Protein backbone atom coordinates (compact mmCIF):
# COMPACT_ATOMS: atom_id res chain seq x y z
CA UNK A 1 0.00 0.00 0.00
CA UNK A 2 1.09 3.62 -0.40
CA UNK A 3 1.85 6.05 2.39
CA UNK A 4 -0.45 8.94 3.25
CA UNK A 5 1.82 11.37 1.39
CA UNK A 6 1.68 9.42 -1.88
CA UNK A 7 -1.02 9.27 -4.51
CA UNK A 8 -2.95 6.03 -4.09
CA UNK A 9 -2.66 3.56 -6.94
CA UNK A 10 -5.85 2.92 -8.92
CA UNK A 11 -8.11 0.28 -7.37
CA UNK A 12 -9.69 -2.60 -9.28
CA UNK A 13 -11.86 -5.55 -8.24
CA UNK A 14 -12.09 -9.00 -9.81
CA UNK A 15 -14.07 -12.07 -8.77
CA UNK A 16 -13.51 -15.79 -8.96
CA UNK A 17 -16.22 -17.77 -10.70
CA UNK A 18 -17.60 -19.21 -7.41
CA UNK A 19 -17.99 -15.88 -5.63
CA UNK A 20 -19.13 -13.42 -8.25
CA UNK A 21 -22.53 -13.15 -6.50
CA UNK A 22 -20.96 -11.78 -3.30
CA UNK A 23 -18.18 -9.88 -5.09
CA UNK A 24 -20.78 -7.68 -6.78
CA UNK A 25 -22.22 -6.80 -3.36
CA UNK A 26 -18.76 -6.08 -1.92
CA UNK A 27 -17.92 -3.73 -4.81
CA UNK A 28 -21.26 -2.00 -4.35
CA UNK A 29 -20.52 -1.70 -0.63
CA UNK A 30 -17.21 -0.05 -1.48
CA UNK A 31 -18.60 2.32 -4.11
CA UNK A 32 -22.00 1.94 -5.83
CA UNK A 33 -20.54 3.50 -8.98
CA UNK A 34 -17.77 0.90 -9.35
CA UNK A 35 -18.05 -2.39 -11.21
CA UNK A 36 -16.18 -5.68 -11.21
CA UNK A 37 -13.31 -5.91 -13.66
CA UNK A 38 -13.46 -8.24 -16.66
CA UNK A 39 -11.89 -11.67 -16.33
CA UNK A 40 -12.26 -15.02 -18.07
CA UNK A 41 -12.11 -18.63 -16.93
CA UNK A 42 -11.37 -21.02 -19.80
CA UNK A 43 -11.84 -24.75 -19.22
CA UNK A 44 -10.27 -27.51 -21.28
CA UNK A 45 -12.01 -30.80 -21.98
CA UNK A 46 -9.77 -32.69 -19.54
CA UNK A 47 -10.76 -30.42 -16.63
CA UNK A 48 -7.72 -28.13 -16.70
CA UNK A 49 -8.56 -24.43 -16.62
CA UNK A 50 -6.82 -21.10 -17.10
CA UNK A 51 -7.75 -17.64 -15.83
CA UNK A 52 -7.10 -14.34 -17.53
CA UNK A 53 -7.61 -10.73 -16.48
CA UNK A 54 -9.09 -8.95 -19.47
CA UNK A 55 -8.14 -5.35 -18.69
CA UNK A 56 -4.99 -3.58 -17.61
CA UNK A 57 -4.00 -3.71 -13.94
CA UNK A 58 -0.53 -2.21 -14.32
CA UNK A 59 0.27 -0.13 -11.24
CA UNK A 60 -3.13 -0.91 -9.66
CA UNK A 61 -4.13 -2.18 -6.24
CA UNK A 62 -6.10 -5.30 -7.17
CA UNK A 63 -8.66 -6.96 -4.88
CA UNK A 64 -9.41 -10.54 -5.90
CA UNK A 65 -12.58 -11.91 -4.30
CA UNK A 66 -13.13 -15.64 -3.90
CA UNK A 67 -14.31 -17.88 -1.05
CA UNK A 68 -12.37 -21.14 -1.04
CA UNK A 69 -15.15 -23.62 -0.26
CA UNK A 70 -15.11 -26.97 -2.14
CA UNK A 71 -14.28 -27.97 -4.77
CA UNK A 72 -10.56 -27.26 -4.37
CA UNK A 73 -10.60 -25.69 -7.85
CA UNK A 74 -11.99 -22.53 -6.21
CA UNK A 75 -8.76 -22.14 -4.23
CA UNK A 76 -6.59 -22.91 -7.24
CA UNK A 77 -8.53 -20.45 -9.40
CA UNK A 78 -7.82 -17.74 -6.83
CA UNK A 79 -4.11 -18.53 -6.90
CA UNK A 80 -4.08 -18.43 -10.70
CA UNK A 81 -5.78 -15.01 -10.60
CA UNK A 82 -3.19 -13.75 -8.12
CA UNK A 83 -0.40 -14.98 -10.38
CA UNK A 84 -2.04 -13.38 -13.43
CA UNK A 85 -2.35 -10.02 -11.65
CA UNK A 86 1.26 -10.07 -10.46
CA UNK A 87 2.54 -10.95 -13.92
CA UNK A 88 0.45 -8.10 -15.33
CA UNK A 89 2.41 -5.68 -13.08
CA UNK A 90 -0.24 -4.97 -10.46
CA UNK A 91 1.29 -2.90 -7.67
CA UNK A 92 -0.51 -4.74 -4.84
CA UNK A 93 -2.68 -7.86 -4.85
CA UNK A 94 -5.14 -8.42 -1.99
CA UNK A 95 -6.89 -11.78 -1.71
CA UNK A 96 -10.39 -11.24 -0.29
CA UNK A 97 -11.47 -14.63 1.05
CA UNK A 98 -14.80 -14.36 2.93
CA UNK A 99 -14.68 -18.09 3.73
CA UNK A 100 -11.19 -19.51 4.22
CA UNK A 101 -11.32 -23.21 3.38
CA UNK A 102 -9.15 -25.88 5.06
CA UNK A 103 -9.20 -23.77 8.24
CA UNK A 104 -10.21 -26.78 10.34
CA UNK A 105 -6.75 -28.23 9.63
CA UNK A 106 -4.94 -25.72 11.84
CA UNK A 107 -2.80 -28.11 13.93
CA UNK A 108 -1.63 -31.72 14.26
CA UNK A 109 -4.34 -33.26 16.43
CA UNK A 110 -2.98 -36.76 15.81
CA UNK A 111 0.22 -38.20 14.32
CA UNK A 112 1.01 -38.04 10.60
CA UNK A 113 -1.62 -35.53 9.49
CA UNK A 114 -1.17 -32.42 7.37
CA UNK A 115 -1.70 -28.87 8.62
CA UNK A 116 -3.79 -27.87 5.64
CA UNK A 117 -4.41 -24.26 6.70
CA UNK A 118 -0.64 -23.60 6.84
CA UNK A 119 -0.16 -25.19 3.44
CA UNK A 120 -2.91 -23.01 1.93
CA UNK A 121 -1.28 -19.92 3.46
CA UNK A 122 2.09 -20.92 1.95
CA UNK A 123 0.50 -21.49 -1.46
CA UNK A 124 -1.24 -18.11 -1.43
CA UNK A 125 1.99 -16.32 -0.49
CA UNK A 126 3.90 -18.26 -3.17
CA UNK A 127 1.34 -17.10 -5.73
CA UNK A 128 2.17 -13.51 -4.79
CA UNK A 129 -0.49 -12.06 -2.47
CA UNK A 130 0.51 -8.88 -0.61
CA UNK A 131 -2.39 -8.98 1.82
CA UNK A 132 -5.26 -11.26 2.86
CA UNK A 133 -8.73 -10.24 3.99
CA UNK A 134 -10.98 -12.90 5.52
CA UNK A 135 -13.79 -13.40 8.03
CA UNK A 136 -14.28 -15.54 11.14
CA UNK A 137 -11.43 -17.99 10.73
CA UNK A 138 -12.08 -21.36 12.34
CA UNK A 139 -8.91 -20.77 14.39
CA UNK A 140 -7.48 -17.31 15.08
CA UNK A 141 -3.88 -18.54 14.93
CA UNK A 142 -4.19 -19.06 11.16
CA UNK A 143 -3.40 -15.34 10.82
CA UNK A 144 0.11 -16.23 11.99
CA UNK A 145 0.55 -18.72 9.15
CA UNK A 146 0.94 -15.77 6.76
CA UNK A 147 3.96 -13.52 6.40
CA UNK A 148 1.79 -10.75 4.96
CA UNK A 149 -0.87 -8.61 6.71
CA UNK A 150 -4.16 -10.37 7.43
CA UNK A 151 -7.36 -8.41 8.04
CA UNK A 152 -9.52 -10.77 10.10
CA UNK A 153 -13.09 -9.44 10.09
CA UNK A 154 -15.75 -10.60 12.52
CA UNK A 155 -19.33 -11.20 11.35
CA UNK A 156 -20.49 -10.26 14.85
CA UNK A 157 -20.43 -6.72 13.47
CA UNK A 158 -23.52 -7.83 11.53
CA UNK A 159 -25.00 -10.37 13.91
CA UNK A 160 -25.03 -8.36 17.16
CA UNK A 161 -27.26 -5.57 15.77
CA UNK A 162 -29.61 -8.18 14.28
CA UNK A 163 -29.88 -10.06 17.56
CA UNK A 164 -30.60 -6.81 19.40
CA UNK A 165 -33.37 -6.05 16.89
CA UNK A 166 -35.16 -9.26 17.94
CA UNK A 167 -35.77 -7.74 21.39
CA UNK A 168 -35.62 -11.11 23.13
CA UNK A 169 -36.11 -11.23 26.89
CA UNK A 170 -34.16 -13.66 29.10
CA UNK A 171 -31.52 -13.98 26.41
CA UNK A 172 -28.84 -16.66 26.78
CA UNK A 173 -25.86 -17.20 24.45
CA UNK A 174 -24.79 -20.82 23.97
CA UNK A 175 -21.59 -22.33 22.66
CA UNK A 176 -22.11 -25.59 20.74
CA UNK A 177 -18.83 -26.97 22.13
CA UNK A 178 -15.96 -26.11 24.47
CA UNK A 179 -13.88 -24.72 21.61
CA UNK A 180 -16.45 -22.00 20.92
CA UNK A 181 -16.64 -20.78 24.51
CA UNK A 182 -14.48 -17.72 23.83
CA UNK A 183 -16.72 -16.63 20.96
CA UNK A 184 -19.88 -17.18 23.00
CA UNK A 185 -18.45 -15.25 25.93
CA UNK A 186 -17.73 -12.27 23.69
CA UNK A 187 -21.30 -12.29 22.35
CA UNK A 188 -22.72 -12.58 25.87
CA UNK A 189 -20.61 -9.59 26.91
CA UNK A 190 -21.81 -7.32 24.10
CA UNK A 191 -25.41 -8.46 24.48
CA UNK A 192 -25.33 -8.37 28.29
CA UNK A 193 -26.63 -11.94 28.38
CA UNK A 194 -25.91 -15.11 30.31
CA UNK A 195 -23.94 -17.95 28.70
CA UNK A 196 -24.15 -21.74 28.61
CA UNK A 197 -21.88 -24.35 27.01
CA UNK A 198 -22.67 -27.59 25.21
CA UNK A 199 -20.13 -30.34 25.81
CA UNK A 200 -19.87 -32.89 23.02
CA UNK A 201 -17.84 -35.95 22.16
CA UNK A 202 -17.34 -37.23 18.61
CA UNK A 203 -17.09 -40.84 17.49
CA UNK A 204 -15.57 -39.59 14.21
CA UNK A 205 -15.46 -36.45 12.03
CA UNK A 206 -18.88 -34.87 11.39
CA UNK A 207 -20.56 -37.21 13.88
CA UNK A 208 -21.45 -36.28 17.47
CA UNK A 209 -21.97 -39.30 19.72
CA UNK A 210 -22.90 -37.56 22.97
CA UNK A 211 -23.81 -34.04 24.16
CA UNK A 212 -24.78 -32.31 27.40
CA UNK A 213 -25.65 -28.69 28.22
CA UNK A 214 -23.79 -26.95 31.05
CA UNK A 215 -25.88 -24.07 32.44
CA UNK A 216 -29.48 -22.99 32.98
CA UNK A 217 -31.69 -22.53 29.91
CA UNK A 218 -35.15 -22.98 31.46
CA UNK A 219 -37.58 -20.27 30.22
CA UNK A 220 -34.73 -18.63 28.27
CA UNK A 221 -34.45 -17.49 24.65
CA UNK A 222 -31.24 -19.17 23.56
CA UNK A 223 -28.95 -18.26 20.67
CA UNK A 224 -26.22 -20.74 19.72
CA UNK A 225 -23.19 -19.07 18.11
CA UNK A 226 -20.56 -20.75 15.93
CA UNK A 227 -18.22 -19.93 13.06
CA UNK A 228 -19.75 -22.40 10.59
CA UNK A 229 -22.50 -24.95 10.02
CA UNK A 230 -21.32 -28.01 8.11
CA UNK A 231 -23.59 -31.04 8.44
CA UNK A 232 -25.59 -29.21 11.17
CA UNK A 233 -25.34 -32.23 13.46
CA UNK A 234 -23.82 -30.35 16.41
CA UNK A 235 -26.06 -27.29 16.31
CA UNK A 236 -29.32 -29.17 15.76
CA UNK A 237 -28.50 -31.66 18.53
CA UNK A 238 -27.66 -28.80 20.87
CA UNK A 239 -30.90 -27.02 19.94
CA UNK A 240 -33.02 -30.09 20.60
CA UNK A 241 -31.37 -30.73 23.98
CA UNK A 242 -31.75 -27.07 24.97
CA UNK A 243 -35.46 -27.18 24.20
CA UNK A 244 -35.81 -30.43 26.15
CA UNK A 245 -34.35 -28.58 29.14
CA UNK A 246 -37.17 -26.03 29.07
CA UNK A 247 -35.95 -23.18 26.86
CA UNK A 248 -38.59 -20.85 25.36
CA UNK A 249 -36.88 -20.72 21.97
CA UNK A 250 -33.58 -21.51 20.33
CA UNK A 251 -31.85 -19.93 17.34
CA UNK A 252 -28.43 -20.38 15.77
CA UNK A 253 -25.93 -17.84 14.48
CA UNK A 254 -23.14 -19.14 12.25
CA UNK A 255 -20.98 -17.13 9.87
CA UNK A 256 -20.28 -19.68 7.14
CA UNK A 257 -23.15 -21.82 5.75
CA UNK A 258 -21.19 -24.84 4.53
CA UNK A 259 -24.40 -26.90 4.82
CA UNK A 260 -23.19 -30.19 3.42
CA UNK A 261 -24.83 -33.62 3.39
CA UNK A 262 -28.02 -33.76 5.50
CA UNK A 263 -27.66 -30.19 6.85
CA UNK A 264 -30.82 -28.69 5.38
CA UNK A 265 -32.94 -31.68 6.39
CA UNK A 266 -31.58 -31.58 9.93
CA UNK A 267 -32.26 -27.86 10.27
CA UNK A 268 -35.81 -28.25 9.01
CA UNK A 269 -36.55 -31.08 11.46
CA UNK A 270 -34.82 -29.46 14.45
CA UNK A 271 -36.15 -27.24 17.24
CA UNK A 272 -34.36 -24.25 15.72
CA UNK A 273 -36.66 -21.32 15.00
CA UNK A 274 -34.09 -19.53 12.86
CA UNK A 275 -30.55 -19.95 11.54
CA UNK A 276 -28.82 -16.62 10.95
CA UNK A 277 -25.84 -16.73 8.60
CA UNK A 278 -24.03 -14.76 5.88
CA UNK A 279 -23.55 -15.14 2.15
CA UNK A 280 -19.83 -15.99 2.41
CA UNK A 281 -20.91 -19.29 0.80
CA UNK A 282 -23.93 -19.47 -1.52
CA UNK A 283 -27.14 -20.92 -0.05
CA UNK A 284 -29.23 -23.40 -2.00
CA UNK A 285 -32.49 -21.63 -2.73
CA UNK A 286 -35.76 -23.05 -1.42
CA UNK A 287 -34.16 -25.64 0.87
CA UNK A 288 -35.20 -24.11 4.20
CA UNK A 289 -37.45 -21.28 5.36
CA UNK A 290 -35.57 -21.14 8.67
CA UNK A 291 -32.37 -19.68 7.21
CA UNK A 292 -31.86 -15.90 7.40
CA UNK A 293 -28.96 -14.62 5.28
CA UNK A 294 -27.26 -11.32 6.07
CA UNK A 295 -25.10 -9.85 3.30
CA UNK A 296 -21.41 -9.19 3.99
CA UNK A 297 -21.16 -6.80 1.03
CA UNK A 298 -21.35 -3.52 2.94
CA UNK A 299 -19.07 -4.80 5.72
CA UNK A 300 -16.30 -5.91 3.37
CA UNK A 301 -16.76 -2.83 1.19
CA UNK A 302 -16.25 -0.60 4.23
CA UNK A 303 -13.15 -2.52 5.38
CA UNK A 304 -11.65 -2.41 1.89
CA UNK A 305 -12.27 1.35 1.71
CA UNK A 306 -10.52 1.90 5.06
CA UNK A 307 -7.59 -0.38 4.21
CA UNK A 308 -7.13 1.24 0.80
CA UNK A 309 -7.15 4.73 2.34
CA UNK A 310 -5.01 3.74 5.35
CA UNK A 311 -7.74 4.20 7.92
CA UNK A 312 -8.50 2.15 11.02
CA UNK A 313 -10.75 -0.90 10.74
CA UNK A 314 -11.08 -1.38 14.52
CA UNK A 315 -14.82 -0.73 14.46
CA UNK A 316 -15.25 -4.01 12.56
CA UNK A 317 -13.84 -6.03 15.44
CA UNK A 318 -16.78 -6.41 17.85
CA UNK A 319 -15.83 -10.00 18.73
Query: Does residue 212 sit in helix, strand or coil?
Result: strand
Nearest-angstrom CA–CA distance, 285 and 58: 39
Nearest-angstrom CA–CA distance, 271 and 283: 20
Nearest-angstrom CA–CA distance, 287 and 307: 37
Evaluate whether 136 touches 111 at the Cβ level (below 8 Å). Answer: no
Nearest-angstrom CA–CA distance, 78 and 15: 9
Chain centroid, CA 300 distance in Å: 11
- Catalytic positions, written as ranges: 200
Nearest-angstrom CA–CA distance, 37 and 56: 10
- For residue 271, give the nearest of 308, 254, 302, 246 by alpha carbon: 246
Answer left, alpha or beta for residue 200, where phi above 0 means left and psi between -120 and 50 means alpha. Answer: beta
CA 54 vs CA 14, 133, 284: distances in Å: 10, 23, 30
Evaluate whether 302 touches 286 at the Cβ level (below 8 Å). Answer: no
Nearest-angstrom CA–CA distance, 123 and 311: 29
Amino acid sequence: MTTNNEIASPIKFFAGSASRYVAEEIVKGYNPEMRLGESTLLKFSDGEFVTSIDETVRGCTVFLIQSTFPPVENLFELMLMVDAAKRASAEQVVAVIPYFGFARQDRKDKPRVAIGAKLVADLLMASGVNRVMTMDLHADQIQGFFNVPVDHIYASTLFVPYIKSLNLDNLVIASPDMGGAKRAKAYSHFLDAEMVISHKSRSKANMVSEMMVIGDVKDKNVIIVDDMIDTAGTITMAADIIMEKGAKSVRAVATHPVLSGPAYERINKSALIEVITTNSIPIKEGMSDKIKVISIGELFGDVINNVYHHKSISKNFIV
